[in-house]
Structure 1
Amino acid sequence: MSAPFLPEGDWIRGISIKQPWTAAILTGAKTIENRPRPWRPGWVLVHASQQIDRPALRLPLVARSIRDRDLVTGAVVGIARITDCHQDPEGAPLCSPWAHPGAWHLKLADVQELPLPVPARGQLGPWRPTEDLIDQVLQQLPVFRP
């Protein structure tokens, strides 16, 4: 993809998520990501962190969603768009079976899995990807237009 098609400025961030949650997002089953603080809407590189949440592998909701998937770690594995960020009112039903009480819920849409993971280091909170990393991701998504 050539630069003229990209928006100017700070248009994309990285979000690091432990496996198996990342795999569940890539399947399209998990459309809510839980965070301790609010995030702004926009595009994010979906980064599978180095750690695997082993107890989560035994949750039926997770197990059904990620069946037979590789749990890649330490790489950008997809791209998604945050369309909303909210907290459910105390005592109200949760917005999704994936939502945690008291957390900020990031609504994920337009999730696209990369054909090949791109090794990268992430960090806690929203992080700014390098231009080289963005280029490597977008080479695998030739029809993507933010």
Structure 2
Amino acid sequence: MKCLSIQQPWASLIAHGIKDVENRTSKMLVPPQRVLIHVGSKMRSPELLNELPLCYEIPVQFAEEIGAFDRNAPLAKSAIIGYVDVVDIVDDSKSAWAQYAQEGEKPLYHYVLANARLFKTPIADVKGRLGVWDIPEITEDNLPETVDIPVVERKDDTLIIPCGDALWNEVCGWEDSGSSEFEFFLTLTNDNIDILAPVDYDGNPINPKNVIFKSRDGKIIETEFVSSYVEEMKYSDNGEIIEYVDEAGNEYVAMETCIVVKRK
């Protein structure tokens, strides 16, 4: 299989399905093509995940809320950690992860990524190379077992929400409290808004009837949907609305959805 070396922490963000564009100065393959994700022995600053620009922080924050990523987990080095499909190579991606060259620099190509899979056990002690390279001993037929990354789902009238530790502890605390209703917040992204806060053609919300919470170890708590609303996120210290700009100059307002449920 073809293999692409990517620095950490970007490689892990790709393997977890969070980063959907890889930026390169040349077209090194013909899409669509599946590539292995290799990480070298060096990485960017370990603190980088705690200092992300808001356009990157928003999707990472949501992934942590649902237990799909842990920025404090150790990052693999000198290993193949998963694979991803390069479905297209463009120069005008609208993804927040797309970067653009400054005047006088080489143009950047956006490798559009999909169907990322993280290996349960990385293939260790693999030296990287520049560009795209071949590992003939690894094929589609002998790929290692992969991790099921949690995703928010809608099945008919039921909203299924996987929980990171913090959210699961909140749900369990409500269960033990005896309170009839539970209110919680989730960060909205371009990828999840049609699941968490869908609307019809007239702009009316399409609400579920039930909400199921799932823990990391497969436990579930079933609830009945009561209400929801969407609002701007604000800084806790001054109450100002959180706004940010991506590399292309697109302006955003950080949004979150509040969902209220009750016991069944």
TM-score, length basis structure 2: 0.43
1:129-140 → structure 2 map (5 Å cutoff): 129-131=135-137, 133-134=138-139, 138-140=143-145
Q: Secondary structure at the match of 2:14?
A: helix
Residues 1:23 and 2:27 aligned together: no
Aligned CA distance change for structure 1 residues 134 and 69 (closer, same or farther; 3 Å)? farther
| Greater fraction of residues in helix | 1
Aligned counterpart for 2:130 among listed residues 111, 124, 128: 124
Which one has a bigger Cα radius of gyration?
2
Which residue number corresponds to residue 89 of structure 2? Answer: 85
Q: Which amino acid aligns with 1:45?
A: L
Which residue number corresponds to residue 40 of structure 1? Answer: 30
Which residue number corresponds to residue 99 of structure 1? Answer: 98
Alignment partners' CA distance in 2, 1:134 and 1:70: 27
CA contact (8 A) 2:22 2:97 kept: yes
Identify which of structures 1 and 2 has the higher relative contact order when contacts are C-alpha pairs closer than 8 Å and 6+ apart. Answer: 1
Q: Tell me the CA shift for residue 59 of structure 1.
A: 1.3
Q: Which amino acid aligns with 1:24?
A: L
Residues 1:73 and 2:77 aligned together: yes
Unaligned runs of 5+ in 2: 64-69, 102-107, 147-264
Aligned CA distance change for structure 1 residues 40 and 30 (closer, same or farther; 3 Å)? same
Aligned counterpart for 1:112 among listed residues 111, 117, 137: 117
Alignment partners' CA distance in 1, 2:99 and 2:48: 13
Alignment partners' CA distance in 2, 1:81 and 1:125: 16
Alignment partners' CA distance in 2, 1:123 and 1:69: 25
**1:86-137 alpha-carbon deviations (Å, 9 max, x no partner):** 112xxxxx52111110311001111111000102112110001131x44896
CA contact (8 A) 2:17 2:115 kept: no
Unaligned runs of 5+ in 1: 1-11, 89-93, 142-146
Alignment partners' CA distance in 1, 2:73 and 2:21: 19
Aligned CA distance change for structure 1 residues 137 and 51 (closer, same or farther; 3 Å)? farther
Which residue number corresponds to residue 4 of structure 1? Answer: none
TM-score, length basis structure 1: 0.74
Alignment partners' CA distance in 1, 2:141 and 2:44: 27
Considering only aligned residues, what root-mean-square deviation do their CA atoms show, in Å? 2.3
Identity fraction in percent: 30
Q: Which amino acid aligns with 1:72?
A: A
Q: Which amino acid aligns with 1:97?
A: A
